[in-house]
Copies of this chain bind each other. A is one copy, B any other.
């Protein structure tokens, strides 16, 4: 039994993915992973791709992803220095595992537009009562 939600049928418990969901929900992780889908990229290429990300945040994001085994960091001892980031096998498999979620989101957006004429979700979450 999962001790976090006390669900009996552990095979169907969602709690095990809390860890990875914490990771992929970091603000820029999705964008970085998507940027690396095709080819290895260098730090500043990723930065330019995404645009508004600050260097510290990109740095942290890349470290987390490397630590999780989702991307690889390859250093080439050149001057000027050259560092390339690429997806690992695990990272590619993660993207595949996320496809059904992408499709679910797209379906939901379509329903929203059909019923209400606008996208209703995903903006304005409930905020803490301050």
Tell me if B35 and A125 are in contact (CB < 8 A).
no
* Copies of this chain per assembly: 2
Taking a contact as CB atoms closer than 8 A, the residue among B69, B107, B109, B128 that contacts A121 in the complex is B69
A76 CB to nearest chain B CB (Å): 23
Q: Is the CB of B122 within 8 A of A19?
A: yes
Which residues of A line the B interface, CB within 8 A?
Answer: 2, 4-7, 12-25, 30-35, 37, 49-51, 56, 60, 63-64, 67-69, 90, 93-109, 121-122, 125-126, 128-129
List of 4 A-B pairs having minimum Cβ-Cβ separation, nearest first: A25-B25, A19-B122, A5-B31, A97-B104
Would you give 14 A-B contacts (Cβ < 8 Å), ordered by A? A4-B31, A5-B35, A6-B49, A7-B35, A12-B34, A14-B33, A14-B34, A14-B102, A16-B109, A21-B21, A21-B30, A22-B25, A93-B104, A98-B100
